[in-house]
Structure 1
Amino acid sequence: MSRDRRLPGLSAWGRVADGREHQIRRRSNVEIYLDSRLDADSILGFGFEHVCIATGARWRRDRVNRQHVVPFPIDPGMPLCIPDNIMEGNLPTGGVVIAGDNHYHMGGVLAALLAIRGCEVSLITPAAHVSDWTRNTLEQAAIHQHLAGLGVEIVLKRGVTAIGAGHAVSNCLYTGTTGSHGCDAVVRVASRQGEDRLFRDLAARQET
């Protein structure tokens, strides 16, 4: 949430984190230590009777997404980003293909950010609408209009099936027909994978 709130149009999301922090700080029986990364040894050193782990997730870059449950070909020389890279300030330049197989807000938000920064952006998604889930919140039409106004090429009902040197390959969901999209970099917006190493470390020690 602390990183998402810095993306275009998401500043209001920060109120969720700020509100929760405010409510917690009001409780006399809770202590907060921000920016304090813990490992299994540190946690066990406190001597707590119970430990709750909430360590979040990172975006997958292993070429697995909703359309492809197994990895697809990627040229190792092609610059490839995930949303975490961009939120950490590592933005691609030039022509960018966003492979948006998440269907929530992130593909559209990153397309807007990169277009504003001067990139030539193509957003390719297997969904019938860009940021498809936002139809439930009545935002989808406004998102499409905003991206179109920024010059983003919106490619619907096609999924990225391979990433080569200087291009991405997509296929039509209905006919399988493939097409090539020239670009300088690709941003993969697929699914996220839980950061569960700390949990596994603690669980392993509990078993011994």
Structure 2
Amino acid sequence: VRVRDYRLGQIQRMPHVEIYLESEMNAEQIREFGADKVALATGALWRNDGVGRSIRFPVPGCKALTPDDIMDGKRPAAAGSAVTIYDDDHYYMASVIAELLASEGYRVTLATQGMCVASWTEYTLEQRHIEKRLLDAGVHILTRHELAEVGSGELWLTNTLTGEVSSYEGSVVSVTARLPRDELFEVLKGKIPVRRIGDCFGPSIIAAAVYEGHRYAREFDTDIDPDAVPFNRTRHKLQH
């Protein structure tokens, strides 16, 4: 939110930029707008089938809630019930969802294939603080476990070291991978000059989305060779 609001405030100061907030458009409306070039930054949605970094095919029976669902106000079941958050994203999202649901009274288990929760946050020096907050919130942590199957009010996790499969009660929230929202691009490509940027092109972190938008603006009136490298190479010739 802080990133979004800051950039919105900066853009609103520019007299040559028109902003239309909360104005979702379809392909026909985009064509009617008559823009010379179109950039689609329509984002991405979390998968609900368990596919992520370590699981390459949909998990049997998995039609889980996702972070998108949780942020839209949906909940696994009645407060006080058991819920397992399966994290194959390894960044901050699963821990945020776990802490939220625990604060609402759910009995939360966070299961991950990694050796610790939110393992990528070791690079940002946040991991130990995140894990402590989860423990303080009463979240049960299961590392080295992979989602194997989901049933009605039950799920099965595989210990990645021993191969042992254990069952757990409750529902599932899947925090695994995201898919680009590129339906508009598929309709518009070949009809108008259109380019995907940000998560619409390849889901990543917020910083990458900011970079993509900035890069699009810098390259707006230039012809980019897709095969060229964006840096200079220096070669040294050694003589004996």
TM-score band by shorter chain is 0.7 to 0.9
Aligned length: 190
> Does the 8 A contact of 1:115 with 1:121 survive in 2?
yes
Listed as ranges, the matches of 1:114-193 within 5 Å are 114-183=101-170, 185-193=171-179
The C-alpha deviation readout for 1:156-183, integer Å capped at 9, x for no partner, is: 0111111122221111222211111121
Match for 2:68: what amino acid? D
Cα pair distance change 1:75/1:140, threshold 3 Å: closer
Query: How far 1:63 sits from its partner (Å)?
Result: 3.2
The amino acid that maps onto 1:22 is G
Task: State the Cα RMSD in Å.
Answer: 1.5
- Is residue 75–residue 165 contact of structure 1 (8 Å, CA) maintained in 2? no
Partner of 1:180, secondary structure, is strand
Distance verdict in 2 for CA 1:161–1:25, change over 3 Å? same
Residues 114-161 of structure 1 deviation map (CA, whole Å, 9 limit, x = unaligned)? 000000001100011111111111111111111111111000011111
- What SS does the corresponding residue of 2:20 show, helix, strand or coil? coil
1:72 matched to 2:56: no
Identical counterparts, % of pairs: 39
Structure 1 length normalisation: TM-score?
Answer: 0.87
Deviation, 1:206, is 4.7
In 1, Cα distance between the equivalents of 2:15 and 2:160?
56
1:39 and 2:26 aligned: yes
1:75 is displaced (CA, Å) by 6.5
| Contact 2:47–2:178 (Cα < 8 Å) also in 1 | yes
- Structure-2-length-normalised TM-score: 0.76
| Residue 87 (1) aligns with residue 74 (2) | no
Which residues of structure 1 form unaligned runs of 5+? 1-13
Please give the secondary structure, in 1, of the residue aligned with 2:37: coil
Structure 1 residue matching 2:39: 3-state secondary structure: coil
Partner of 1:55 in structure 2? 42
User: What letter matches 1:175 in structure 2?
Assistant: T
Which is greater in Rg? 2
Q: Distance in 2 between matches of 1:136 and 1:154?
A: 20
Secondary structure at the aligned position of 1:81 is classed as coil
Code of the residue aligned with 1:82 in structure 2: it is T
How far apart in 2 are the matches of 1:197 and 1:204? 14
Q: State the one-letter code of the partner of 2:180.
A: G
2:185 partner amino acid: F
Matched residue, 1:194: 180
Quote the Cα distance in structure 2 between the aligned partners of 1:204 and 1:181: 49
Give the equivalent residue in structure 2 for 1:5.
Answer: none
Extract unaligned runs of 5+ from structure 2.
194-240
1:108 aligned residue (95, 98, 102): 95
